[in-house]
Structure 1
Amino acid sequence: MSWKTDPVTLRYFVAVCEEGAIAHAAEREFIAASAISKRIAEMEADIGTPLLLRSQRGVVPTVAGKALLRHARHVLQGIDHMHAEMREHGQGARGVVRVLANISSIAGSLPDTLTAFLLAHPKIRVEVDAPVSAEIVRGVAEGEADIGICRDVVDTSGLEVFPHHPDHLMLAVLRTHPLASQTQVDFVDTLRYEQIGVNTNSPITAMQVRMAANLGHELQFRLRVATIDAALRAVKGGLGLVLLPRETLRHYGGIEDLRIIALRDEWTRRHLLLCVRRVNDLSPAARLLFDALRASAAQDEPELGTQG
């Protein structure tokens, strides 16, 4: 095989895979579809294997194409980082940082950290998406994102991982609730009281139901709601108690009239992790944000559930 590729062809190939059609990739890259098709066909001939499966509905990468897509993203990311670092020497840090973050961090400390960071670095833009933790790890590993914030329940092999914030599940109750005088309770102690469920398909709700079943209880939610705000309003209205992540409660306003109580059960002890492919390979902009996120973890506040 005498294959010699170039970054431009790799960029076109990535665009085709992401768009699912050569015509759409051509529009995105401002080039004729025939030119992209020719480049990819020549690359396939040089490599000696098809990279795309073509049909009337569009194109998808073959097994070889998926491997090339993964490597191409890494190569292009490296080039982008090189350009960004060179610009930094003359213009200061700038660029786009892509973050995949657990929904709990988005509802918690991340917005405050990003606000302070972006005010301090006006030439940097940050793009945040919120997939599940397994997709966060995959996205970082495959170069789709610079930084990930995920739960500690997924396999992060191959990534550099750092502790971020504790994110234990906590109990929120009205101050007149029978459990309000407790500083810690067992999950089983909550099952005799009305409960509020947040998002039927959420991992927390599924875990509550499973753990209740393990204790011989069929958990029946008095009310299921779609948002955290609605759940806390229901608690304030005296409809029941709710289990929510520490990070969410720590940054949620208007809970002064509620008691936040820790749970003793091991399964409620959760942590958020910060993950990257390689710290030393981060672009200057991404490294600045990474350092800001690490600093926010170092300044973490005391545990909730101990206040009077």
Structure 2
Amino acid sequence: MRIDPVSLRLFVAVMEEGTIAAAAEREHLAPAAVSRRLSELESAVGTALFQRSNKGVQATAAAHALLGLARGVLHGLSDITEQMAGFGAGLRGHVRLSANISAITQFLPEDLRTFLGRAPQVQVHLQERISTQVARAVADSTADIGILNAGDYGQALQQIPYRTDELVVVVPRGHALSRRRPLRFTEVLAHDIVGLHQGSALNDLLHRGAAETGLPLKLRMQVTSYDALCLMVDAGLGIGVLPRGSARLYLPALKIRAVDLAEPWSLRRLVLAVRSLEALSPAARMLVEHLRAVEDVAAG
């Protein structure tokens, strides 16, 4: 028995939705039809993908192994359709881009504007994630290209230089640190800090920096965005650390100042992550080359 794309699509839907009923509703099919397709797929691959009970279905280890493969196959088939359809009218396609907040707030708006000006028939689907999730999305084939902080994420990914960002300390105007340039992190640690949410690269970086000094990190609150961080600092609820380019967006509207941070780790490298350059669609390769060229210009 052959494995067909419809069965793979329904399998992925069940894995993502968690139940056959929810997957059936998403795909506009009867639950019995979805269940039958899953049984046929299990026969085709020769192993059980779900454990069934009166409480529903539970994915097996084989199902989790198949999920990434199925997504890759479905995406490849979608690429074939789109690329063949686009030959008559120039390059077409869509690119799934996953990026962290630093890249999105500092660099991507202008970089994507210039790219789409050159390739207006390419659709770029952008999703914000933290760096660890970006790496996982690329490895699992749910994103074609990732932009994240350079590092080892336990995934076999190609990392290509993109940009460098610089961390600064954001303080209220008139704060004791507002006229100190540059600051050491030990000075920052003497004050209450407004940080980003747990799991973010910047949150981890602050914890590591504090551990190196042997001083406690006095996180007064944690937020999920740079604008929320700057608003809390503006309200006098603490000081924060964020990329210079991101802070620049909020300085004119708020009563805050950005102060240089004199630590080796205040300079961070952002990279492009892909599973394989050779395996990318023409549209995705075109975007990678554009972003690489932008990096070369910025570095020059």
The TM-score with structure 1 as length reference comes to 0.79
Kept in 2: contact 1:95–1:125 (CA 8 A): yes
Whether 1:265 and 2:263 are equivalent positions in the alignment is: yes
Judged with a 3 Å threshold, the aligned counterparts in structure 2 of structure 1 residues 224 and 277 are, in CA distance, closer, same or farther, namely closer
After superposition, residues 107-118 of structure 1 pair within 5 angstroms as: 107-118=105-116
Q: 165, 183, 198: which is aligned to 1:201?
A: 198
Deviation of 1:298 after TM superposition, in Å, equals: 2.6
Kindly state the Cα deviation for residue 143 of structure 1 after the two structures are TM-superposed: 0.6
Q: Secondary structure at the match of 1:53?
A: strand
How far residue 18 of structure 1 moved from its aligned partner, in angstroms, is 1.9
Write the deviation string for residues 99-143 of structure 1: whole angstroms up to 9, x where unpaired.
221122122212232334345444333322223222211111111
Instruction: Tell me the distance in 2 between the aligned counterparts of 1:78 and 1:59.
Output: 28
Q: C-alpha displacement at 1:87, in angstroms?
A: 1.9
2:184 is matched with 186
Q: For residue 188 of structure 1, report the CA deviation from its aligned partner.
A: 1.9
- Between the aligned partners of 1:262 and 1:223, the Cα distance in structure 2 is 22
- Check conservation: 1:166, 1:247, Cα contact below 8 A: no
Q: CA deviation at 1:237?
A: 7.2
Match of 2:20 in 1: 22
- Gap change, CA 1:79 and 1:182, over 3 Å in 2: same
The alignment partner of 1:144 has SS state of coil
Secondary structure of the corresponding residue to residue 54 of structure 1: strand
Deviation per residue, 1:218-271 (Å, 9 max, x gap): 344677666533544565677764321234235556289866444332333322
Residues 190-210 of structure 1: CA distance to partner in whole angstroms, max 9, x if unpaired?
Answer: 345x45413353643454355
SS at match of 1:169: strand
Query: Any residues of structure 2 matched to 1:52-131 within 5 Å, and which?
Result: 52-131=50-129
Q: Quick one: distance in 2 between partners of 1:142 and 1:135?
A: 10
Relative to 1, partners in 2 of residues 1:202 and 1:49: Cα closer, same or farther, differing over 3 Å?
closer
The alignment covers a number of residue pairs equal to: 299
Q: What is residue 50 of structure 1 aligned with on the other side?
A: 48
Structure-1 separation of matches of 2:134 and 2:61: 22
Deviation at 1:23, TM superposition (A): 3.2
Equivalent pair of 1:88/1:284 in contact (CA under 8 Å): no
2:298 is paired with a residue of what secondary structure?
Answer: coil
Change (3 A) 1:134 1:36: same
Larger deviation, residues 5-14 vs 23-32: 23-32
**Residue 279 (structure 1) shift:** 1.6
> Residue type matched to 2:41 in 1?
M
What is the letter of the counterpart of residue 196 of structure 2?
Answer: N
Structure 1 residues 300 and 4, CA gap change in structure 2 (3 angstroms): same
Whether the 8 Å CA contact 1:81–1:282 is kept in 2: the answer is no
SS state of the match for residue 168, structure 1? strand
**Any conservation in 1 of the 2:194–2:233 contact (CA below 8 Å)?**
no
Deviation at 1:182, TM superposition (A): 5.8
CA distance in 2: counterparts of 1:68 and 1:268, whole angstroms:
40
Residue number among 127, 138, 143 corresponding to 1:145 in the alignment: 143
Segments of 5+ residues of structure 2 without an aligned counterpart are none
Shift of 1:51: 1.1
1:300 aligned counterpart, secondary structure = helix
Confirm or deny: 8 A CA contact 2:195 2:219 kept in the other structure: no
Alpha-carbon contact 1:98-1:147 (below 8 Å) kept: yes
1:69-92 CA-to-partner distances (Å, cap 9, x unmatched) read 221111122212222221221123
Alignment partner, residue 274 of structure 1: 272
In the superposition, relative to structure 1, how do residues 58 and 222 fare at CA in structure 2: closer, same or farther (>3 Å)? closer
Q: 1:40 aligns with which of 38, 41, 62?
A: 38
8 A contact 2:145–2:273 mirrored in 1: yes
Calculate the aligned-residue CA RMSD, in Å.
3.3
Q: Distance in 1 between matches of 2:129 and 2:197?
A: 17
